[in-house]
Structure 1
Amino acid sequence: MTVTTQPPGTGGPTARPTRAVLRDSLTVGVSVGISGVAFGAAGAGAHLTVTQTCALSLLLFTGASQFALVAALAAGAAPVAAVAGALLLGVRNAFYGMRLAERLQLPSALRPLAAHLVIDETAAVTLAQPDRRTARLGFTTTGVSIFALWNLTTLLGALGADALGDPARYGLDAAGPAVFLALLAPRLRDPHERGVAAAAVLLVLAGTLLLPTGVPVLLALAAVPLAVRRGRTAR
């Protein structure tokens, strides 16, 4: 009997069917992409123009960082403080990128384009695949579908909120934070992750009473080393 082997990353007996990868990737892409409506409304709530709101989705495209930026601006934070908070939240994508670069092994010419699609969801779908072929397919499908839908729904949300008038009158100013919390909550399964979230909330609430607008969000980062230290002690 002759046994054939395949090079690593090219597929094999454990490789997933293309249809399954596409189904899972598009499911994530659609479910996340439509949340751009909330960001469009949040942008209008922060008194950004439709063009400015859409530019953030087109050029920044980091979800949580976008919401943090417009939330800080809506609260009256200085632009520098708002941008600093958004940048700190976006740093995690650089770490995702290092891991995904090793997994995907994309040609040099494609890496700048791929870097723009490195977000939580594309990283999760890519790293869940068993080989390089399906990892590339999952990354591309998830990234392109989210990017296209997110930008389209951002436009729709911004236009809709702009047509309604002041979003604060209808509660649309809370849409961004609400969607962000809804996306985040199911991921907090580990006790230490919940500890980070709880400590961050307490720090933000306490800081809101004492510190200038925009600073409490940055203060929440202090919860991370506290929770990490607690986790190491528990081990």
Structure 2
Amino acid sequence: MRSLLRTQSFGSLVRDSSLVWAASGVVGVSFGALSVAGGLPVWVPVVMSLVVYAGSAQFSAVGVLLAGGGPFAAAATGLLLNTRAAAFSLAVADLLGPGRATRLLGAHLVADETVAFALAQPDPARRRAAFWVSGLGLFAVWNLGVLAGALVGTALGDITVYGLDAAFPAVLVALVLPSLRASRPLRRPAALGALIALAATPFVPAGVPVLLALAGLFLYGREGAAV
């Protein structure tokens, strides 16, 4: 019975994660195609996705390269956008498990969607399983999508023409909503972060609004200290 429950739990996690994987694959195909269409060799987006594995940072770094910027400027842009992963890592540090190799692999899998999916689960054991199921699946689908897009090259074009770019943020919002319903202290910081991100979006590069939205954490810390 216990093994059956574990199998059913694993199956439900895979089913729930599949929407995130599908959205990630679509964006990955776009990233690979746009990178190659801009003049980069096929291996650049493929290796970047394996080593960096950060969607918004990768888009921004490639944008800098295609605009004529050097590799150091591209790397600095990616690092700036990916600093939010530090906060995400703290949130899921207890889910990575023991062992240096396991924690290093888990740290590489930390992403907005993986963290949101894991923290939305009701208990520690399911959160840990959700992190690894979502993280490993997302990593695989993202890299396969990037490879496919890079091989396709210019045939696909820009996914914004089809409106498919909206799938990724829509799925992320769906993952976050259960946590907001269950925890009232999270709502005001989340609302503040969302307002900051929306206000900054017209004026800053892609990915930076998400980084600025972390300012809402200060309100969460203040409310937590007051309690």
TM superposition score normalised by structure 1: 0.68
For 2:159 and 2:17, how far apart are their aligned partners in 1? 29
Q: Identity of paired residues, percent? A: 35
70-79 or 90-99: which moved more?
A: 70-79
What's the counterpart of residue 143 of structure 1? 135
**Letter matched to residue 199 of structure 2:** A
- For 1:210, the equivalent position in structure 2 comes to none
Name the aligned partner's letter for residue 74 of structure 1: L
Q: Give how far 1:66 is off.
A: 0.8
Contact 1:42 1:174 in 2 (8 A): no
CA separation of 1:119 and 1:22: change in aligned 2, threshold 3 A? same
Which residue of structure 1 aligns with residue 46 of structure 2?
Answer: 54
- 1:95–1:103: structure 2 CA closer, same or farther, 3 Å change rule? same
Does structure 1 residue 90 correspond to structure 2 residue 82?
yes
Kindly provide the CA deviation profile for residues 53-104 of structure 1, in whole angstroms up to 9, marking residues without a partner as x.
1001111111111111112222233332222111111111122112211244
Instruction: Please state whether the residue corresponding to 2:109 is helix, strand or coil.
Output: coil
- Judged with a 3 Å threshold, the aligned counterparts in structure 2 of structure 1 residues 81 and 200 are, in CA distance, closer, same or farther, namely farther
Does residue 25 (structure 1) correspond to residue 17 (structure 2)? The answer is: yes
Say what the alpha-carbon RMSD is for the aligned residues. 3.6
Distance (Å, rounded) in 1 between the aligned partners of 2:43 and 2:63: 17
Aligned to 1:37: 29
Per-residue deviation at 1:107? 3.3
Give, as a single letter, the amino acid of the residue that structure 2 aligns with 1:19: G
The amino acid across from 2:60 in the alignment is: A
- Structure 1 residue 224 corresponds to structure 2 residue 216: no
Q: Is the CA contact 2:30–2:158 (under 8 Å) kept in the aligned structure 1? A: no
1:124 matches 2:112 = no
* Residues 161-204 of structure 1: per-residue CA shift (max 9 Å, x gap): 16x5xxxxx8x36759x766663477499654454334324434
* Shift of residue 157, structure 1, vs aligned partner: 0.6
Deviation, 1:141, is 1.2
Pick closer, same or farther for the CA change 1:125–1:201 going to 2, 3 Å: closer
Q: What's the secondary structure of 2:81's corresponding residue?
A: helix
Please say if residues 46 and 73 of structure 1, whose CA atoms lie closer than 8 Å, have aligned partners that are also in contact.
no
Of residues 57, 67, 71 in structure 2, which corresponds to 1:75?
Answer: 67
Contact (CA 8 Å) 1:73, 1:82: kept in 2 or not?
Answer: yes
Greater Cα radius of gyration, structure 1 or 2 = 1
Q: Which has the higher helix share?
A: 2
Question: What are the ranges of 5 or more consecutive residues in structure 2 without an aligned counterpart?
Answer: 1-7, 178-189
Per-residue deviation, residues 104-163 of structure 1 (Å, max 9, x unmatched): 43433311111110101110111111222211221111111111111111111111116x
Q: Distance in 2 between matches of 1:68 and 1:44?
A: 15
Deviation at 1:34, TM superposition (A): 3.4
Output the TM-score relative to the length of structure 2.
0.70
What amino acid is the match of 1:224?
A: L
1:149-164 equivalence runs, <5 A: 149-161=141-153, 164=155
- Evaluate the alpha carbon distance shift between residue 183 and residue 28 of structure 1 in structure 2; reply closer, same or farther with a 3 A threshold: closer
AA aligned to 2:212 is: V
What does 1:93-104 correspond to in 2, within 5 Å? 93-104=85-96
Per the alignment, residue 6 of structure 1 pairs with none
